[in-house]
Amino acid sequence: MRARDHFDAASQLAGPRGRHAVVVGGSLAGMLAARVLSDHFDDVTLLERDRFPEAPVARQGLPQGRHVHVLLERGRGVLERFLPGLTGELVRAGADPLDATRDAAWMSPYGWYVRFPGDLRMLASSRDLIDRVVRGRVAALPNVRIQQGADVAGLIRGPGDGAHVVAGVRLRSRAAGAEADRGGSDLAADLVVADGRNSRLPEWLTALGYESPAETVVNSFQGYASRLYRPPAGFEPDWKQLYIQQAPPGDPRGGVISPVEGRRWLVSLVGGDGDYPPTDDAGFLAFARSLCNPALYEAIAVAEPLGSIAGQRATENRLRHYDRLRLFPDGVVAVGDAVCAFNPVYGQGMTAAALGAEVLDRWLRQKSSHGGPGRGRVFQRRLARATSAAWQLSAGADSRFRTTRGPPQGRVARLTGGYIDAVMRAATRRPWVRRRLMEVLHMLRPPSALFGPGVLARLAWDRLVAGADAGPRGGTSLREGTDGGSRSPGRTAPDLDVKTATGRGG
């Protein structure tokens, strides 16, 4: 089929006016949006520039798929709600349902978090597997049509002067290599949903004469380098996932080994403050060796590398304030990374996309979302509220790096930073505190849960009994002395603590 025919065919998918929604981008936020829209529109068309691979492998539009992706429990729960049975399907396809407090050995800035069997799960798999399974489910919906190789070039304006309405999208004809207004075609829609960290929605709005949204950017200059490995035969560590957390400002380096389908490890090294991990063999290993604890290096040094090393540096926290636009046309909304993209080391992006899908669903259930001025802005305000805790966490934690650029942190944020340090320190000893911290990090509880009486009482008791505690593992740079040896009491080999999460003693 020629490109022109292809887009003409796409145009005919449009349902009667008032009945058709278009999603731009087929990553996780786009797929979830399509799933939600399928309940509210007769027809949904998802337009993706790429061609999707059959197997769970990387594709051009999803370069981050080559790096470790942690699906937080809150996000998994929302995915399961919209796509019942998804968790089981992922597990059957090779995802590993880890016991988050037992199977993950996590080196915090204050030493290893205490480990114990619990009931908090964490699904470990490649990002590409999650996308493939979610895509399969969404593609099976009878009123959703996924159009691949469809490159959106802009928005089309609704009829009538002064009507602030978007009436669809303009598709670029790729075969012709032409600009949007030469050789493309239009696809009418009552609602256009845009996603993606590199979303062009701001430019598309400007092209229609609207303002583009103001942005808040907090950049701690993080870089990733990742590679797949085959674990060595007979190598049986007492962890399934190993995480060496960065400890800014002293130690901007970290890394993670996470199991992925096919009995492989996906290893991501991360460096902040522009201390980017190299993507050549020797540099990658040297960076791993320089981490504050030797466990990660020792594991990969004896493992078989599979394929090349992928690097990524577009990791800044970026908040686009669509909710503050004075004039935002009806008929278009932004979701996922298009609105709120995070430094990925905190693992929040997919879960924030899922929260956005919930907001979209609730908004569409309300009559007001189907008419009246400013309805899109109402959606964007609700979305901003739903993701604000995740933003505070990510932007707040990033402010600890030496070279972070962004608005200064307020006094409250600075004070709470010290308190969070005390919580992290307590979580190296107390199962109850680690469990509560994990619940907050997995977005199952709000950050305020760390300030509840249960945590406060335990911290106060520790202070009373134990007095001052060990400081962070790196008040200064930990780069010197890369002999892989332990440099503080906290950085010994991970032990399996057999207390239970629900035990009263924590």
Ligand X SMILES: Cc1cc2nc3c(=O)[nH]c(=O)nc-3n(C[C@H](O)[C@H](O)[C@H](O)COP(=O)(O)OP(=O)(O)OC[C@H]3O[C@@H](n4cnc5c(N)ncnc54)[C@H](O)[C@@H]3O)c2cc1C
Q: How many residues bind ligand X (CB under 6 A)?
A: 38
Plot region of 479 (φ>0 → left; ψ -120 to 50 → alpha; else → beta): alpha
For ligand X, which residue of 337, 361, 398, 497 counts as binding (CB under 6 A)?
A: 337
Length of the chain: 506
Nearest to ligand X of 60, 448 (CB atom): 60
Least separation in angstroms between CB 54 and ligand X: 16
Neighbours of 191 (CB within 10 A): 27
CA nearest neighbour of 51 among 149, 137, 142: 149
Plot region of 464 (φ>0 → left; ψ -120 to 50 → alpha; else → beta): alpha
Measured CA to CA in angstroms, residue 18 lies from 14, 189, 329, 369 at distances of: 10, 8, 16, 12
186 binds ligand X (CB under 6 A): no
**Please, what's the b/e burial string for 91-107 (b: 16 or more CB within 10 A of its CB; e: otherwise)?**
eeebbbbbbbbbbbbbb
Cα–Cα distance for residue pair 447/281, rounded to 1 Å: 39
Nearest to ligand X of 61, 77 (CB atom): 61
**CA dihedral defined by 343, 348, 354, 358, rounded to 10 degrees?**
-100
Nearest to ligand X of 245, 416 (CB atom): 245
Least separation in angstroms between CB 298 and ligand X: 24
Nearest to ligand X of 114, 193 (CB atom): 193
49 binds ligand X (CB under 6 A): yes
Cis peptide before 249 (omega within 30 of 0): yes
What is the amino acid identity at position 406?
A: G
Scanning 147-155, 180-188, 292-300, 401-409 for contacts with ligand X by CB under 6 A, the matching segment is: 147-155
Residues in contact with ligand X, shown as a per-residue x/- string from 68 to 87 under the rule CB under 6 A = xxx-----------------
Least separation in angstroms between CB 477 and ligand X: 24
Rg, Å, the chain Cα set:
24
Nearest to ligand X of 312, 416 (CB atom): 312
Helix residue ranges, H only, 21-64: 28-37
For ligand X, which residue of 23, 28, 292, 427 counts as binding (CB under 6 A)?
A: 28
61 binds ligand X (CB under 6 A): yes
128 binds ligand X (CB under 6 A): no
Residues in contact with ligand X, shown as a per-residue x/- string from 148 to 177 under the rule CB under 6 A = --xxx-------------------------
Structure token digits, residue 459: 């911290």
Least separation in angstroms between CB 351 and ligand X: 5
Site residues for ligand X, 281-320, by CB under 6 A, read 312, 315
Q: Are 259 and 122 in contact (CB under 8 A)?
A: no
Neighbours of 321 (CB within 10 A): 13
Nearest to ligand X of 28, 44 (CB atom): 28
25 binds ligand X (CB under 6 A): yes
Least separation in angstroms between CB 65 and ligand X: 8
Scanning 11-19, 44-52, 106-114, 465-473 for contacts with ligand X by CB under 6 A, the matching segment is: 44-52
441 binds ligand X (CB under 6 A): no
Least separation in angstroms between CB 407 and ligand X: 22
Cα–Cα distance for residue pair 208/193, rounded to 1 Å: 17
224 binds ligand X (CB under 6 A): yes
All residues at 6 or more sequence positions from 356 whose CB lies less than 8 Å from its CB, including other chains? 29, 32, 33, 335, 336, 339, 383, 386, 387
196 binds ligand X (CB under 6 A): yes
Least separation in angstroms between CB 198 and ligand X: 6
Residues in contact with ligand X, shown as a per-residue x/- string from 339 to 378 under the rule CB under 6 A = -----x--xxxxx-x-------------------------
430 binds ligand X (CB under 6 A): no
Scanning 23-31, 80-88, 182-190, 208-216 for contacts with ligand X by CB under 6 A, the matching segment is: 23-31
Q: Which residues pair with 216 in a beta bridge?
A: 319
Q: Apex CA 462: angle with CA 458 and CA 467, to 5°?
A: 155
Nearest to ligand X of 422, 443 (CB atom): 443
CA nearest neighbour of 167 among 329, 331, 26: 331
Scanning 108-116, 191-199, 272-280, 426-434 for contacts with ligand X by CB under 6 A, the matching segment is: 191-199
Least separation in angstroms between CB 228 and ligand X: 15
CA nearest neighbour of 322 among 402, 440, 204: 204
The residues of the shown chain that bind ligand X, judged by CB under 6 A, are: 24-30, 47-50, 61-62, 64, 67-70, 150-152, 195-197, 200, 224, 312, 315, 336-338, 344, 347-351, 353
